[in-house]
Amino acid sequence: MKPFNPQAARDLILAAARPVVFLGMTDDWPVTRWTLPRLCHVLQEQTLRFRIGKRKVDTEPQFEPQCDYIDGTIRQFQDWVSGSTHEASGPFFRYDPAESWAYADYKYLALLFKDQPEMLQEVSWEDFGFPGRDGRDSTLWIGSRGANTPCHIDSYGCNLVLQVQGRKRWHLFPPEDTAYLYPTRIPYEESSIFSKVNVVNPDWQRYPGFSRACPHVVTLHPGQVLLVPPRWWHYVESVDDVTVSVNSWLELDSDHEARVEEAVVRTVVCAFKSAEGAGSSGDWLNPTEDEATTYHTNLQYINMAVTAATAHKMAEKVTAGNVRDQDQPLTRRKELNQEVEEDSGTGTALTTYLVPVLPSVTNEESEHKEMQPATPREETAITSNELLDCLLHPEVITKVAQLLLSRRIGKS
């Protein structure tokens, strides 16, 4: 017996307003045995692209365009981490593991195991109330100590993350902290809004507002599943020598409007950066994006996204029912979150197997940070990146998307 049946787990996921950790839900999942030796055996000579970053402590985030990239096997990565000979570690030999980290991230299981479809059945998100969802809808993450993902928001859906090997530390911030995280769309990646702040070593002079942010920090252990609710900021770092995790992004109704927002962002970013010409820096495009799309292609994206979102909204109006019925999900969300946070000590599954990720900064620490003085910046010419930060601020883009949809719906 699992602590939550699929419907109860699904209700908790869709109603959660704060991050929570599920315990005891994956004990019988074969994927929990996907340790590095197991992956070495299964994937053998198949190569993965690894991102190589520096362990140096800096106040600036280490964005992906600033990293190196190499192609190597899991075995070569394992040999490199364990300190084997240069010959055994292959392309990793150029990097000192004491000074660098390696991260194979965003690896879609459907592609990795296209010749071994049985491996995809070893992941079963059905237990969380999402029928048919398995490895085909999941990604694999393999990293060494210090490997990290810069602080960002995922524009679409919510995130379920299973820790398989090693530990990862998650620094999470609620949506209402967005202004304190100094959001930026450079480097550009569809569906990712990055923070200018290195949240583990912030530059208080440049980003004094970060002192008002409210971090929720949790270290995820093997077998545990973290839920990252929609629009929660997160910075993730590998704590142990080797970490392996598997995640799945769950689609939500709000994704329809988010796709309109992302289409608008892509159009503006590509227009600005393409206009800068060949002499401009090429690090504005994240390596996850193949190329800058044309203006006409981007306008097509906007029209397609608006059409789909409008159709969804019209369908919602037909099926929503009366206002009281519409209010029930919000009421249930408040009830569930209150139940999670108020541990009554009854030993129920809700209080024993569902751990809320609570704020981790004390008032004393917050007050100390508030005392950090802001240093006036020298007056310089406004750059296109600074202008884009304003034009593409999440609040601005949300408003633009709402205006586009309201005009289309008004014409329907």
Task: Give alpha helix (H) positions in 212-322.
Answer: 255-275, 295-319
- pLDDT at residue 343 is higher than 60: no
Q: Are residues 24 and 91 in the same domain?
A: yes
Please state the domain count of the chain.
2
194 versus 88: the higher-pLDDT residue is: 194
User: Crossing angle of helices 295-319/255-275, nearest 10°?
Assistant: 170
- pLDDT at residue 330 is higher than 50: no
Q: Are residues 297 and 405 in the same domain?
A: yes
Instruction: Give burial (CB, 10 Å; 0-12/13-18/19+) of 105.
Output: buried
Rounded CA-CA distance 258/252 in Å is 10
CB 55 within 8 A of CB 100: yes
Q: Which residues span the domain enclosing 310?
A: 255-319+378-411
- Digit-coded pLDDT (tens) for 177-228: 999 999 999 999 999 999 999 999 999 999 999 999 999 999 999 999 999 9
Pairing of strands 216-220, 183-189: unpaired
Output the domain CATH number for residue 90: 2.60.120.650
Residue 410: per-residue pLDDT: 73
Residue 380: per-residue pLDDT: 80
DSSP state of 223: T
Residue 200: per-residue pLDDT: 96
The closest of 88, 67, 218 to 143, measured between CA atoms, is: 67
351 part of a folded domain:
no
- pLDDT at residue 69 is higher than 90: yes
Residue 279: per-residue pLDDT: 52
CB 19 within 8 A of CB 357: yes
Rounded CA-CA distance 377/261 in Å is 31
Residue 323: per-residue pLDDT: 47
Residue 363: per-residue pLDDT: 42
Task: Write down which residue in 250, 265, 280 finishes a domain.
Answer: 250
CB 148 within 8 A of CB 66: no
Q: Assign 268 to helix, strand or coil.
A: helix
Task: Write down which residue in 250, 268, 289 finishes a domain.
Answer: 250
- Digit-coded pLDDT (tens) for 248-296: 999 999 999 999 999 999 999 999 998 887 555 668 999 999 889 999 9
Task: Write down which residue in 195, 217, 250 finishes a domain.
Answer: 250
184 part of a folded domain:
yes
The closest of 235, 164, 165, 163 to 196, measured between CA atoms, is: 235
Residue 344: per-residue pLDDT: 37
106 part of a folded domain:
yes
- Digit-coded pLDDT (tens) for 120-151: 999 999 999 999 999 999 999 999 999 999 99
Reported confidence tier of residue 85, pLDDT bands at 50, 70, 90: confident
Region 226-251 average pLDDT = 98
Rounded CA-CA distance 23/225 in Å is 7
Q: pTM here?
A: 0.90
Q: Are residues 245 and 262 in the same domain?
A: no
Residue 345: per-residue pLDDT: 41
- pLDDT at residue 64 is higher than 70: yes
Q: Assign 214 to helix, strand or coil.
A: coil
- Poorest-pLDDT segment among 115-129, 272-286, 347-361, 362-376: 362-376
